[in-house]
Amino acid sequence: MVKLQDAFGPDAPAVASVTEVPMRSGDHVLLGRAYRPLGARPDQPLPVIIYLHGGGWCIGSVDTHDGLCRELCNVSGVMVLSLDYRLAPEHPFPAAFEDVLACVGWVERHGPEIGGDGRRIALCGDSAGGNLALAAALHLRDQGGTSVRALGLIYPCVDIYAQTGSREAFAQGYFLDRETLVWFFERYLPHPADALDWRASPILAETLAGLPPLELVSAECDPLVDECDALGRRFEESGVPVQHHRATGMVHGFITLGRLFPQASQYIRALATGVAGQLRGA
């Protein structure tokens, strides 16, 4: 994955500052990377996008998504905190989910220490990271939390064992193949029955009502595109605002590969603009 990003990721844009952020969570320390956008005053408290990288819950890091987070930061004009959550198989479900909740709690309590506003948070992520963002938002809603004001999901996996037309149509030859999906699922979920837990398959939650507004990016040639469509419909049926941006002709993973897919910047901008609008209007 690192080689792929090195070869096809865009040049990383400059930002105002980058800070490595340790966050104590129980008996371990989470690491994050905070970006401030160009033009932001040093003393200006900014809303915070917590970004959760993709990689099937098993690979990826703040480094593989550094360029994306820099662009997201500058376009949105808010702080981005990219989280290095624990990865499977060493740390299977629900470790990563718990890390996201711990990160949100840390930002709520300590956001001002890094120049962030802990009352205005968005949860964003691609693929497995989108899965974690949605699951965490559901949990926080159920706990009565109000700090998460927006969601930004990029081709999220929301139903582990979905049987959809797109999983068949794009099973081979479209970057994310069936065998890779199975490999990730088996390592993240060593107990297959956990796939029916809404924390692993968040579209299975009883209701999506009460969630924050959603900016959704999906890729036309992606085995996960049908479940993204289903997710958008469930948001609409639940009365939650959703903007669905379909990336025509794109494959799963395109959003970090801007040198190969220049369209990536268009969809980063769409997501960033929508999320920032929700955070500033909150």
Of 61, 76, 127, 166, which one is the catalytic site residue?
Answer: 127
- Helix boundaries (H) for the chain: 2-8, 66-76, 95-110, 128-142, 165-169, 178-188, 225-237, 264-281
Of 66, 159, 222, 226, which one is the catalytic site residue?
Answer: 222
Of 53, 65, 139, 252, which one is the catalytic site residue?
Answer: 252
**Is the Cα dihedral 187, 83, 227, 175 positive or negative?**
negative
Spatial CA neighbour of 5 closest among 259, 181, 219 = 259
252 catalytic residue (yes or no): yes
43 catalytic residue (yes or no): no
Q: At what angle do helices 95-110 and 128-142 cross, to 10 degrees?
A: 60
Strand bridging mode 148-154 / 116-126: parallel
Spatial CA neighbour of 49 closest among 140, 174, 152 = 152
127 catalytic residue (yes or no): yes
Please identify every residue annotated as catalytic.
127, 222, 252
